[in-house]
Structure 1
Amino acid sequence: MDLELTPDERDVAEAFARVFTRDSSSERVRAAEDTGFDPALWKTLAGMGAIGIAVPAAAGGSGGGFVELALIAEAAGRRLACVPLIEAAVAARLLADAGAPAGLVAAAVDGERVTVLAPRPAQQGVARRVPAGSVAEGVVALDGDELVLVHGPSGPGAAGGRDLGFQAVADRPLRGPGLDRHVLAAGVEAHELWRRARDRWRLGTAAGCAGLAAEALDIAVRYATGRHQFGAPIGSFQALQQPLADVAMAADGARLVAREAAWRHDHGLQSWAGAAAVAFAHAAETAVRAAELCLHVHGGYGFTMEYDAQLYLRRAKATRLSAGDPDLLWEEIGAATMAAGAH
């Protein structure tokens, strides 16, 4: 396994790092905080082909892979981008894989319609707490034994306005009047397509969490280096050096396991789905640890709205919970590992 980036992959990483640094500054994030969506940034990413990066060229996408998507997600995570990049990219690939009408695929790939994946199965005809659910025009979800694409408004259970991680989270009804419902697949095929998309979402979101953790750590280190107490930088105190070192190792690990999962996916290895689950569980946990440490290093300042530490902590906690109970995911990973060992 070679996780060294190719020249083309480095170009992708550098290009999108510049874009997010420029177009997802702290000021832009704060301006989009109430809605959880930055339309100008969305338009920029759509124009660069980011939404269709992992969609085959024959289906109208950019023809790249999930390594490229992971690199873009890392850059987005570092800057707390207020766009549903992963949810939209995975939904676009799912529509292509399901053989959806070309017009629906094109609208998702081009960003003409914000179309996102619901990362959890629907309950009683409602996709619960969908990232970007309050701004998306279309949601792809598993509703019972049907994989559906539903266009329509958010339901009364929507978490409209401000939410914990400023990700425009909302409930989305999948049945009822005023909804345009397309059945993409049914039965075993529907479940298989959705699980694959869910695992791809885990993969991409893990990369985003790795980027968030890395930036939260950088912010903490910069503050610890510049803040003096008792005549010395607080970063020179062992009480901070040890946790900073621990998080640095965990953040490096999060980046590597996310990239490994993407590499396994793009090389057609069946183990990629299990690797994606581990990557998401570890990276999401690490993002929360890094953000909590960042806030701790800032002391009382970290709790104030004027500092960015609280932004990173809120996004990290919300993202970790977006797939449901984290303990259940670790149980799923453990059960899969035990089952693999039994064969």
Structure 2
Amino acid sequence: MDLELTPDQRDVAEAFARVFAHDSPSERVRAAEEAGFDPALWKVLAGMGAVGIAVATDDGGSGGGFVELALVAEEAGRRLACAPVVEAAVAARLLADAGLGDVVADAVAGERVVVFAPRPAEAGVARLVPAGAVARAVVALDGDELVLASGSPGEALRDLGFLAAADRPLGGAGVERRVLATGARAHELWRQARDRWRLGAAAACAGMAAEALEIAVRYAAERQQFGVPIGSFQALQQPLADAAMAADGARLVTREAAWRHDHGLDSWPAAAAVAFAHSAQAAVRSAELCLHVHGGYGYTLEYDAQLYLRRAKAVRLSAGDPDLLWEEIGAAAMTGGEL
């Protein structure tokens, strides 16, 4: 296994790092916080091929893989981008796999925001769909049917992670329901997309963990107490070192899962589950530590620590109860079964 990035992959990472640094600074994130969506940023990302980055060129995409998507998502996480990069990219790939070329073209171009719902619907409603308050269509599993539900964006819920989350009905008045697959095929396509979403979300969390840690380290080097930087105190050095190891581990397990996916290994879904569980946990802990290092300032809206903590917790909960996921991973490891 060689996780060293190719020259083309390094170019992708560097290009999107520059874009997010320029088009998703803290000021832009705060301006888009209420809506959870930055239309100008979305236009730039779509123009660069981010939505179709994991879609084959024959289907209108960029022809990359999930290593490339992970690199984009990692930079998006670093900058708390108010754009559903992962949900839209996973939906586009799913639609391409289902043979919906007409919808894929609009989705990849960014003209129509189409997102994936990472949890099965309940009573015909996809709950707390990330970007559900801005998407024109949602791909979701409704019982034994995989559906594309098109309609007006949902009503934004109180969303502390500024993900534009909303409940989306998958049928009824004002909703155009298109069945993509039924039965076993529907479940197979949805599970594959869910695992790909976990992979992309893990990368975003790895980016958040790394950036929250960098913010904490910078502050610890600047803040003086008793005439010395607070970063010189062992009480802070130890947790910062622990957070650094967790953040590095998050990046490693995520890129390994993406590598396994792109090389067609059967182990990639389990690797994606572990990557998401660990990276989401690392992001929350890194953000909590960042807030702790800032002391009372960390709780104020003027500092960015609270932004990272809110986003990290929201992403971690987007897939449901994190403890249940760890239990599923453990059970699968003990029995050799599938997640």
1:83-162 matches, within 5 Å, as 83-100=83-100, 102-154=101-153, 158-160=155-157, 162=158
- The CA distance in 1 between the partners of 2:143 and 2:153, in whole Å, is 19
**Deviation at residue 147 of structure 1 after TM alignment:** 0.4
**Partner SS state of residue 149, structure 1:** strand
Aligned position for 2:10:
10
- The CA distance in 2 between the partners of 1:87 and 1:292, in whole Å, is 25
Aligned position for 1:276:
272
Aligned position for 1:313:
309
Contact kept, 8 Å, 1:149 with 1:184, in 2: the verdict is: yes
- The CA distance in 2 between the partners of 1:92 and 1:288, in whole Å, is 28
Aligned position for 2:30:
30
1:258 pairs with 2:254:
yes
1:1-343 matches, within 5 Å, as 1-100=1-100, 102-154=101-153, 158-160=155-157, 162-340=158-336
- The CA distance in 2 between the partners of 1:154 and 1:207, in whole Å, is 26
Structure 1 stretches of 4+ with a deviation exceeding 4 A read none
- The CA distance in 2 between the partners of 1:79 and 1:262, in whole Å, is 21
When structure 1 is superposed on structure 2, of 173-182 and 17-26 the one drifting more is: 173-182
Equivalent pairs counted in the alignment come to 338
- The CA distance in 1 between the partners of 2:79 and 2:153, in whole Å, is 27
Contact kept, 8 Å, 1:265 with 1:272, in 2: the verdict is: yes
**Partner SS state of residue 185, structure 1:** strand
Name the amino acid aligned to 1:95.
Answer: L
**Deviation at residue 338 of structure 1 after TM alignment:** 1.2
**Deviation at residue 153 of structure 1 after TM alignment:** 2.4
- The CA distance in 1 between the partners of 2:135 and 2:323, in whole Å, is 29
Name the amino acid aligned to 1:195.
Answer: R
- The CA distance in 1 between the partners of 2:335 and 2:64, in whole Å, is 33
**Partner SS state of residue 270, structure 1:** coil
**Partner SS state of residue 286, structure 1:** helix
**Deviation at residue 154 of structure 1 after TM alignment:** 4.4
Name the amino acid aligned to 1:138.
Answer: A
Residues 115 and 341 of structure 1: is their aligned pair in 2 closer, same or farther, counting only changes over 3 Å? closer
- The CA distance in 2 between the partners of 1:56 and 1:123, in whole Å, is 32
Name the amino acid aligned to 1:311.
Answer: L
Name the amino acid aligned to 1:273.
Answer: P
Q: Which runs of 5+ in 1 are unaligned?
A: none
Contact kept, 8 Å, 1:153 with 1:172, in 2: the verdict is: no
- The CA distance in 1 between the partners of 2:108 and 2:325, in whole Å, is 30
Name the amino acid aligned to 2:113.
Answer: V
- The CA distance in 2 between the partners of 1:86 and 1:78, in whole Å, is 14
Q: TM-score, normalised by structure 1?
A: 0.97
- The CA distance in 2 between the partners of 1:107 and 1:200, in whole Å, is 21
Q: Which runs of 5+ in 2 are unaligned?
A: none
Deviations 1:228-263 (A, max 9, x none): 000100000000000000000000000000000000
- The CA distance in 1 between the partners of 2:79 and 2:140, in whole Å, is 28
**Partner SS state of residue 175, structure 1:** coil
- The CA distance in 1 between the partners of 2:35 and 2:5, in whole Å, is 35
Name the amino acid aligned to 2:15.
Answer: A
- The CA distance in 2 between the partners of 1:180 and 1:208, in whole Å, is 31
- The CA distance in 1 between the partners of 2:337 and 2:15, in whole Å, is 42
**Deviation at residue 108 of structure 1 after TM alignment:** 1.1
Name the amino acid aligned to 1:210.
Answer: A
Contact kept, 8 Å, 1:66 with 1:265, in 2: the verdict is: yes
- The CA distance in 2 between the partners of 1:341 and 1:66, in whole Å, is 24
**Deviation at residue 139 of structure 1 after TM alignment:** 0.2
**Deviation at residue 159 of structure 1 after TM alignment:** 3.7
- The CA distance in 2 between the partners of 1:197 and 1:98, in whole Å, is 11
**Deviation at residue 178 of structure 1 after TM alignment:** 1.1
Q: TM-score, normalised by structure 2?
A: 0.98
- The CA distance in 2 between the partners of 1:250 and 1:39, in whole Å, is 33
**Deviation at residue 60 of structure 1 after TM alignment:** 0.6
Considering only aligned residues, what root-mean-square deviation do their CA atoms show, in Å?
Answer: 1.1
